[in-house]
């Protein structure tokens, strides 16, 4: 009879969380390339063993020093491991006046642990706020996907074509600085970066991790299946899930007049599953639009607020729906749709209370259009393939419901039933909410 001892299990692989040690560098285009061959980006598949691949990726993405600890001096950064998390946090938090840092995209954000006042050594969720949130007349609040860590939009872009600024919030934050808060306030809006991803507290590392990262931390051996979830150890009070985090950010930060100008308007950008939590919390107290993965060019209307029964996929968001352009994954939607998103936010800010959602109704995809008559018929009618795909409705088609500008739904009882059925389905999208006092 044979018996395997615990000591006989293969040791868990160890990788140093430093780009140079891992064989990478950041070039002058802000892209991460291989030291051995600068034509190559980050390589996930080191071996056929996914545990080795996952552990390398964890070291590549993460700095083992708690990223919520305060950064006091630029020289202090040199003593920490140089991983993606540290690079992004450094650029977001080091002041613009830091002459020792060659990067010119620094933003002087403040790291704030939630719940507010929690020591950084205790379980908490860090968020970032710009230095002007106490005085600005407008706040941009960003909720990213729960699959991404703080400041990250898409690791596939950070470690590949596009680079660090494009694949993270760095490029977005820089662009937001070029906007003006309103028609009467030319100063840029303040920014609050929420953190829906890092809700699983890792006590040994002193930081929160995403649902995927929690299984990539060091294990007793390379064949252990994953990390057990201990509610008493791994959960953060008030941030056990995305819904709780959204609620906490609004009530502890956005509505906290000790931190934020109490008269400021709030624009919300939410990505993926965070959009569901934001919409649930606001409960119709907003004007907004949604962007979805679609084959049409960026900003092409896909559906009106009543949805598009003839479109492929879910379109019943209760607001105008537009194409996210070239995006084919949820994590790249905000990257690809950023120009359209920023233009719309600026439009809403400049028009103020006069802004209204666009009015249109769409039925079907290009070349397979469903007409209003077909929706009214239980058997349908023969399609022409050349029917008009967009119909603009007049002012009489507009309703104000619970503070949200909402167009009248068009269709029969059957279409309404379909709306209810499809509303139960889960589909990730990019949801924008604006103008909540």
Q: Give the residue among 30, 33, 11 at the shortest CA–CA distance from 22.
A: 33
pLDDT band at 211 (very low <50, low <70, confident <90, very high): very high
pLDDT at 80 over 60: no
pLDDT-derived band at 105, boundaries 50, 70, 90: low
Please, which pLDDT band fits residue 284 given cuts at 50, 70 and 90? Answer: confident
Per-residue pLDDT of 12-21, as tens digits, reads: 999 999 999 9
Per-residue pLDDT band at 81 (split at 50, 70, 90): low
Cα dihedral across residues 68, 69, 75, 79: positive or negative: negative
Cα(4)–Cα(74) distance, integer angstroms: 50
User: DSSP for 61-115?
Assistant: H--SS-TTS----GGGGGGS---HHHHHHHHHHS-TT-TT---S-----EEEEES
Beta strands 404-407 and 398-401 are antiparallel
Q: In angstroms, what CA-CA distances link 133 with 120, 189, 216, 253?
A: 22, 8, 36, 10
Q: What is the C-alpha R_g of the chain?
A: 24
pLDDT at 140: 97
Highest mean pLDDT among 75-79, 198-202, 384-388, 409-413: 198-202
Alpha carbon distance 348, 344 (integer Å): 6
Secondary structure letter of residue 170 according to DSSP: H
Q: What is the pLDDT of residue 388?
A: 26
For position 63, what pLDDT does the model report?
Answer: 67
Whether residue 69 has pLDDT greater than 70? no
The Cα–Cα gap between 387 and 243 comes to 42
pLDDT at 365: 73
pLDDT at position 89 is: 93
Instruction: Please report the sign of the dihedral spanned by the C-alpha atoms of residue 64, residue 67, residue 73, residue 78.
Output: positive
Ranking 167-176, 214-223, 311-320, 390-399 by mean pLDDT, the lowest is 390-399
pLDDT at 396: 28
The residue ranking higher by pLDDT, 64 or 31, is 31
Average pLDDT, the chain: 81
Q: What percent helix, strand, coil does the chain show, rounded to 5? A: 30, 20, 55
Lowest mean pLDDT among 46-55, 75-84, 298-307: 75-84
């Amino acid at each position: 009879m044979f018996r395997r001892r615990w000591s006989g299990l293969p040791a868990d692989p160890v990788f140093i969380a430093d780009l140079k040690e891992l064989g990478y560098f950041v070039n002058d285009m802000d892209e991460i390339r291989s030291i051995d061959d600068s034509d190559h980006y980050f390589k996930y598949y080191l071996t056929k063993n996914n545990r080795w691949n996952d552990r390398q990726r964890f070291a590549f993405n993460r700095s083992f020093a708690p990223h919520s600890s305060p950064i006091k001096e630029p020289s202090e950064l040199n003593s920490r491991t140089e991983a993606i998390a540290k690079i992004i946090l450094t650029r977001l938090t080091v002041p613009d006046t830091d002459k020792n840092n060659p990067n010119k995209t620094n933003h002087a954000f403040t790291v704030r642990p939630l719940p507010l006042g929690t020591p950084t050594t205790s379980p908490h969720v860090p968020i970032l706020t710009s230095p002007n949130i106490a005085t600005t007349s407008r706040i941009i609040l960003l909720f990213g996907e729960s699959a991404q860590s703080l400041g990250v939009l898409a690791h596939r872009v950070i470690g590949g074509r596009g680079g660090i600024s494009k694949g993270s919030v760095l490029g977005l934050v820089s662009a937001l600085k070029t906007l003006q808060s309103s028609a009467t306030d030319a100063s840029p809006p303040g920014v609050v970066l929420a953190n829906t991803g890092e809700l699983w507290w890792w006590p040994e590392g002193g930081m929160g991790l995403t649902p995927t990262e929690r299984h990539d931390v060091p294990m007793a051996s390379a064949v252990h299946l994953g990390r057990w979830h201990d509610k008493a150890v791994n959960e953060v009070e008030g941030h056990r899930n995305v819904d709780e985090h959204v609620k906490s950010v609004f009530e502890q930060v956005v509505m906290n007049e000790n931190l934020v100008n109490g008269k400021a308007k709030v624009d919300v950008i939410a990505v993926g599953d965070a959009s569901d939590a934001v919409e649930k919390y606001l409960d119709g107290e907003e004007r907004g639009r949604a962007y979805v993965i679609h084959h049409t060019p960026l900003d092409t209307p896909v559906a009106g607020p009543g949805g598009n029964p003839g479109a492929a996929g879910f379109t019943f968001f209760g607001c105008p729906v537009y194409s996210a352009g070239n995006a084919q994954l949820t994590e790249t939607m905000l990257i690809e749709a950023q120009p359209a998103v920023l233009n719309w936010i600026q439009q809403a800010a400049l028009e103020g209370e006069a802004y209204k959602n666009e009015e249109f109704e769409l039925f079907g995809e290009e070349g397979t259009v469903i007409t209003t008559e077909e929706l009214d018929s239980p058997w349908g009618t023969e399609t022409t393939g050349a029917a008009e795909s967009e119909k603009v409705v007049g002012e009489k088609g507009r309703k104000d419901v619970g503070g949200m500008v909402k167009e009248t739904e068009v269709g029969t009882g059957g279409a309404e039933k379909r709306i209810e059925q499809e509303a139960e389905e889960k589909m990730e999208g990019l949801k924008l909410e604006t103008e909540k006092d």
